[in-house]
Homo-oligomer: A and B are copies of this chain.
Amino acid sequence: MILSALLTSVGINLGLCFLFFALYSILRNQPGNITVYSPLLFNERKAQQQDEFNLERLLPSPGWVKRAWQPSEDELLSITGLDAVVFMRVFIFCVRVFTFACIIGIFILLPINFLGNQLADDFSDLPKKSLESFSISNVDDGSNRLWIHFCAAYVFTGVVCYLLYCEYNYISLKRIAYFYSSKRQPHQFTILVRGIPAPTGSSFSQTVENFFTEYHPSTYLSHTVVRRTSKIQSLINDAEKLYRKLGNLKARNSQQRFMRDGFLGLFGQKVDIVDHYEKKLEDIEDNVRLERSSLAAEEVPAAFVSFKSRFGTAIALHIQQGIDPTEWVTERAPEPKDVYWPFFSASFMKRGIFKIAVVVAYIALTILFLIPVVVVQGLTHLDQLETWLPFLKGLLSLTFVSDLVTGYLPSLILQLFLSVVPPIMILFSSMQGYISHSQIQKSACTKLLWFTVWNIFFANVLSGSALYLVNVFLEPKKIPSVLAEAVPAQASFFIAYVVTSGWTSLSSELFRLFPLLCSFMKRLFVGKDNDDDFEVPQMPYHSEIPRVLFFEILGVTYFFLAPLILPFLLVYYCLGYIIYRNQFLNVYASKFETGGKFWPIVHNSTIFSLVLMHIIAIGIFGLKKLPLASSLSIPLPVLTLIFNEYCRKRFRPIFKAYPTECLIKKDREDQNDPTMTEFLEKLATAYQDPALMPVQNSRSADGRSSPLLCAVEV
């Protein structure tokens, strides 16, 4: 790639971004798009909704930037919760890192690279220079100027580690402060106990009761045994569907109220459909009642156990309870609405087997993902397409069409395949037996991150078959030299990747094309009356964090190899900071809160990118015939890993559990609080499986709710 091509690409993408921004600022002012661009404000604005038309609404304005910039971090925290703040800290951290990197990279390394003579360049004018002349590949072999790169690697590592430490410290303090300022919540007083030993004679419930009154007499409060409810849940779902159908039928009034009750509604007696459905519904409700009454037999050896104080909860949580460590396994309880109920029935063994199966499936998917993609992409070769689909021959002979097909189709197919991955990762994580949505998301986030690193970074850098890649990593000795040869060669690809994929992903995040289209369609075909169905979207941390981190990994890795990538990354993170702030303030709600537990993932991936950079440094100084620099680089990864180990000891425990000091202080606050008794009473019923709770069929169009489903309580 030559410089002018890069600049063209930058120009086009920048133009597109600004176009999107302008469109966004117009579209967000249209009242119809409020569910797309400001769902958080939806409810409060609905009251004062006026469809007045004025010209201002059609003019692009940068006001949203100002509004997104203004709130302080504390305001953001109070509006969105700690997770969003931590997510924004990633951008702040990256802006800091890449500002420093830019200064060193652009003002020191770039000129040195450019003045080298290693690559046989044709000394043409600047715009036609290959991007390679700006990378380390252009420095002469054995040149002493490489020592500047060497120093830059050391200094950069030091600065990044310092920033990492500060950030980890800052966020851990935020986490403690967040805990102090948090309201009493059921999950602070509750643990999940699994592996309750099979009771002899009595029920699980009795066993739990006996155990905790025996061993935690002063702190034990109550418990809720979990039941296997998948059957009831599916019955309830059926019932809800029927309600909706009934509602629709009644709304359409008595047209088409009769059908035949036989095969496909074509044969048999004519019956009143409403009657027919109501009868069906009654059957289902009978079944639900039956199931619920027979639930005692369906108890799962797991229970939510609540305690009278946070410290009492911590005691039961941290100390092994039974002699057999596979029994009475305690686990922090998630927030009630965060509980992932479906996988509760998994036993200790089953969980283990599922875990292994998921690990195997994940590794297989990650390593072999590119194979189907490459195969499908192969089909886009024109000659093959013409053989398969001969009727396209005429069409494909047009230059424009063939350009489109060969140029965009492969990347489109890759993007399509990639967009399927996050749900698969969520599926994998939910199969591993995590008990809360937030844990599933966190685990999926880690999975997706390494998936991205493997399938975008390594697959592009080493550009061989999946098995070749695996082979490289099976010969650890060769890794530095293989990477040192392959990574700089892909610099221009990744610079273009940042500009195209990175910037585009930001503007599409802001523009929300897909929800916009959905909302448009809905309004067009369905009408406006189903606003009740509207749900505020959740921030998909599991897919956003890996994307943002991947660019950081790219930046750190290419810092001294091809410093030209740095300014584009800086632009990415500055834009991202504004855009995601805007989204948090307007679009996303947080249904559950991990308390900043995503940060360790950020920390680890940064450490990984540093070590990757070091390994490449070791390799490249070897290749560039500066063996001394190569050997002197070896302490770098070692020191970085030691630093990481220190951080793990220093900060990690804070992200796992709250210390005695905090718990007891919080407990003391509650001691004199009169509302505490009430709270503890409510606690006993906080963890109820939704399948066992009375159902409000708010969605049934006639507003009628099922008296049966409501009445039956267990």
* Interface of A toward B, CB cutoff 8 Å: 176, 214-216, 314-316, 318-326, 352, 356, 471, 474-477, 642, 645-646, 649-654, 657, 659-664
Q: Can you name the residue of chain B whose Cβ is closest to the Cβ of A650?
A: B326
Q: Which of B214, B323, B477, B646 contacts A662 (CB 8 A)?
A: B323
Q: Are B646 and A352 in contact (CB under 8 A)?
A: yes
Q: Are A215 and B315 in contact (CB under 8 A)?
A: no
Q: Are B325 and A654 in contact (CB under 8 A)?
A: yes
Q: Which of B215, B324, B663 contacts A660 (CB 8 A)?
A: B215
Q: Are B660 and A321 in contact (CB under 8 A)?
A: yes
Instruction: Find chain B residues with CB under 8 A from A660 CB.
Output: 215-216, 316, 319-322
Given contacts A319-B659, A323-B654, 19 further A-B contacts (CB under 8 A): A215-B660, A215-B661, A315-B315, A315-B319, A318-B318, A319-B663, A320-B657, A321-B659, A322-B660, A323-B661, A325-B650, A325-B651, A325-B652, A325-B653, A326-B650, A352-B642, A474-B477, A475-B476, A475-B477
Q: Which of B215, B651, B659 contacts A664 (CB 8 A)?
A: B215
Q: Can you name the residue of chain B whose Cβ is closest to the Cβ of A317?
A: B319
Q: Can you name the residue of chain B whose Cβ is closest to the Cβ of A175?
A: B323
Going nearest first, the 6 A-B pairs with the smallest beta carbon separation are A325-B653, A320-B659, A318-B318, A474-B477, A321-B660, A318-B319
Given A646-B352, A664-B215, A653 and B320 contact (CB-CB distance below 8 Å): yes
Instruction: Find chain B residues with CB under 8 A from A356 CB.
Output: 642
Please measure, in the bound complex, the distance between the C-alpha atom of A314 and the C-alpha atom of B215, giving whole angstroms. Answer: 13
Instruction: Find chain B residues with CB under 8 A from A322 CB.
Output: 659-661
Q: Are A323 and B664 in contact (CB under 8 A)?
A: no
Q: Are B176 and A323 in contact (CB under 8 A)?
A: yes
Please measure, in the bound complex, the distance between the C-alpha atom of A471 and the C-alpha atom of B471, giving whole angstroms. Answer: 17
Instruction: Find chain B residues with CB under 8 A from A654 CB.
Output: 323, 325
For residue A470, give the distance in angstroms from its CB to the closest CB of chain B.
10
Instruction: Find chain B residues with CB under 8 A from A475 CB.
Output: 474-477
Q: Can you name the residue of chain B whose Cβ is closest to the Cβ of A214?
A: B664
Please measure, in the bound complex, the distance between the C-alpha atom of A244 and the C-alpha atom of B629, giving whole angstroms. Answer: 60
14 contacts between A and B (CB under 8 A): A215-B661, A314-B319, A318-B319, A319-B663, A320-B657, A320-B660, A321-B660, A321-B661, A323-B659, A323-B661, A324-B650, A325-B651, A326-B650, A475-B477
Please measure, in the bound complex, the distance between the C-alpha atom of A645 and the C-alpha atom of B642, giving whole angstroms. Answer: 27
Q: Are B649 and A325 in contact (CB under 8 A)?
A: yes
For residue A255, give the distance in angstroms from its CB to the closest CB of chain B.
62
Instruction: Find chain B residues with CB under 8 A from A649 CB.
Output: 325-326
Q: Can you name the residue of chain B whose Cβ is closest to the Cβ of A656?
A: B320
Please measure, in the bound complex, the distance between the C-alpha atom of A314 and the C-alpha atom of B315, giving whole angstroms. Answer: 9
Q: Can you name the residue of chain B whose Cβ is closest to the Cβ of A324?
A: B650
Please measure, in the bound complex, the distance between the C-alpha atom of A650 and the C-alpha atom of B652, giving whole angstroms. Answer: 25
Please measure, in the bound complex, the distance between the C-alpha atom of A591 and the C-alpha atom of B471, giving whole angstroms. Answer: 52
Please measure, in the bound complex, the distance between the C-alpha atom of A411 and the C-alpha atom of B187, giving whole angstroms. Answer: 66
Please measure, in the bound complex, the distance between the C-alpha atom of A216 and the C-alpha atom of B651, giving whole angstroms. Answer: 24
Please measure, in the bound complex, the distance between the C-alpha atom of A650 and the C-alpha atom of B326, giving whole angstroms. Answer: 6
For residue A338, give the distance in angstroms from its CB to the closest CB of chain B.
23
Q: Are A657 and B477 in contact (CB under 8 A)?
A: no
Please measure, in the bound complex, the distance between the C-alpha atom of A382 and the C-alpha atom of B550, giving whole angstroms. Answer: 65
Please measure, in the bound complex, the distance between the C-alpha atom of A321 and the C-alpha atom of B657, giving whole angstroms. Answer: 11
For residue A303, give the distance in angstroms from its CB to the closest CB of chain B.
16
Please measure, in the bound complex, the distance between the C-alpha atom of A680 and the C-alpha atom of B471, giving whole angstroms. Answer: 63
Please measure, in the bound complex, the distance between the C-alpha atom of A660 and the C-alpha atom of B325, giving whole angstroms. Answer: 11
Instruction: Find chain B residues with CB under 8 A from A659 CB.
Output: 319-323, 325
For residue A472, give the distance in angstroms from its CB to the closest CB of chain B.
11
Q: Can you name the residue of chain B whose Cβ is closest to the Cβ of A653?
A: B325
Please measure, in the bound complex, the distance between the C-alpha atom of A654 and the C-alpha atom of B319, giving whole angstroms. Answer: 11
For residue A358, give the distance in angstroms from its CB to the closest CB of chain B.
14
Instruction: Find chain B residues with CB under 8 A from A320 CB.
Output: 653, 657, 659-660
Q: Can you name the residue of chain B whose Cβ is closest to the Cβ of A473?
A: B476
Instruction: Find chain B residues with CB under 8 A from A651 CB.
Output: 325
Instruction: Find chain B residues with CB under 8 A from A323 CB.
Output: 176, 654, 659, 661-662
Instruction: Find chain B residues with CB under 8 A from A214 CB.
Output: 664
Please measure, in the bound complex, the distance between the C-alpha atom of A475 and the C-alpha atom of B476, giving whole angstroms. Answer: 7
Interface centre among A176, A645, A660, A664 (most CB of B within 10 A): A660
Q: Can you name the residue of chain B whose Cβ is closest to the Cβ of A211?
A: B661
Q: Can you name the residue of chain B whose Cβ is closest to the Cβ of A353?
A: B642
For residue A305, give the distance in angstroms from its CB to the closest CB of chain B.
13
For residue A321, give the distance in angstroms from its CB to the closest CB of chain B.
5
Please measure, in the bound complex, the distance between the C-alpha atom of A652 and the C-alpha atom of B319, giving whole angstroms. Answer: 14
Q: Can you name the residue of chain B whose Cβ is closest to the Cβ of A646?
A: B352
Please measure, in the bound complex, the distance between the C-alpha atom of A321 and the C-alpha atom of B325, giving whole angstroms. Answer: 24
Instruction: Find chain B residues with CB under 8 A from A325 CB.
Output: 649-654, 659
Interface centre among A474, A475, A653, A661 (most CB of B within 10 A): A661
Interface centre among A324, A471, A652, A663 (most CB of B within 10 A): A324
Please measure, in the bound complex, the distance between the C-alpha atom of A550 and the C-alpha atom of B176, giving whole angstroms. Answer: 49
Please measure, in the bound complex, the distance between the C-alpha atom of A654 and the C-alpha atom of B215, giving whole angstroms. Answer: 18
Please measure, in the bound complex, the distance between the C-alpha atom of A471 and the C-alpha atom of B478, giving whole angstroms. Answer: 12
Instruction: Find chain B residues with CB under 8 A from A662 CB.
Output: 323
Q: Can you name the residue of chain B whose Cβ is closest to the Cβ of A320?
A: B659
Please measure, in the bound complex, the distance between the C-alpha atom of A325 and the C-alpha atom of B660, giving whole angstroms. Answer: 11
Please measure, in the bound complex, the distance between the C-alpha atom of A664 and the C-alpha atom of B323, giving whole angstroms. Answer: 12
Instruction: Find chain B residues with CB under 8 A from A645 CB.
Output: 352
Instruction: Find chain B residues with CB under 8 A from A471 CB.
Output: 477
For residue A678, give the distance in angstroms from its CB to the closest CB of chain B.
26
Please measure, in the bound complex, the distance between the C-alpha atom of A476 and the C-alpha atom of B215, giving whole angstroms. Answer: 50
Please measure, in the bound complex, the distance between the C-alpha atom of A176 and the C-alpha atom of B649, giving whole angstroms. Answer: 31
Instruction: Find chain B residues with CB under 8 A from A650 CB.
Output: 324-326
Please measure, in the bound complex, the distance between the C-alpha atom of A316 and the C-alpha atom of B650, giving whole angstroms. Answer: 19
Instruction: Find chain B residues with CB under 8 A from A657 CB.
Output: 319-320
For residue A139, give the distance in angstroms from its CB to the closest CB of chain B.
29
Q: Are A474 and B474 in contact (CB under 8 A)?
A: no
Instruction: Find chain B residues with CB under 8 A from A661 CB.
Output: 215, 321-323
Instruction: Find chain B residues with CB under 8 A from A652 CB.
Output: 325
Q: Can you name the residue of chain B whose Cβ is closest to the Cβ of A218?
A: B218
